[in-house]
Amino acid sequence: MESTRAAFLCAPSAGRDATSASLLSHWWVAFAASSVFVVSGHLLIKAGLNGSAPLPANISAGIRILHSVFQFKVLAGLLIYLMGTVCWMRAVSQKEISFLYPLSSVNFVLIAAASMIFLQEILSGRRIVGIVLVIVGMVLMNARGKV
């Protein structure tokens, strides 16, 4: 079982790029990389979706989705997001998931801040309180011992 998982996670990078593979063998490097990729990937996807030209109302749903996916920013964003997922799996293979999950809620903060700065989104007080409650809940869910 362990060998299967190790093969899954290591096979693509083995021998191709020894430096990045050894860097990602520190859980915190893998975790930080996953956060940066997940957040920047999503920003790029949303920027691409914002910039796409509107289609006439009578176009079908499938075409609509394909039209929004196949543009440079969205595809690049998806690719970066995928890299983030791979890094996340590398982090999870080295550190307990109950430790990493609450830590990953830093993504919510980064996404909120980046949406304000780069996408000119307006965050209401209600939305900010909601995000804080989500983070508190995630820490609580994975906390050890009695609360």
Partner 1 sequence: MRGEKFDMNPKTMIWISVTLSAVAQIFLKQGLTRLQTRTPASQSLFSLTICVVSQPFIWLWGICFVAAMGLWLSGLQKLDLSYAYPLVSVGYVLVTILSAAVVRERVDGRRWLAVGVISLGVILIAGS
Contact 60, 129 (CB under 8 A): no
Select 7 or 79, whichever has its Cβ closest to partner 1.
7
Contact 121, 81 (CB under 8 A): no
Q: How far apart are CA 15 and CA 83, in angstroms?
A: 18
Tokens of 8: 């899954």
- Tokens 């980046």, residue located: 114
Q: Which of 25, 64, 85, 97 lies at the binding interface for partner 1 (CB under 8 A)? A: 64
Determine if 124 is a binding residue for partner 1 (CB under 8 A): yes
Which residues of this chain interact with partner 1, rule CB under 8 A? Answer: 1, 3-4, 7, 11, 42-43, 45-46, 49, 52, 57-58, 60-62, 64-65, 68-69, 74, 101, 107-108, 111-112, 115-116, 119, 121, 123-124, 126-127, 129-138, 140-141, 143, 146-147
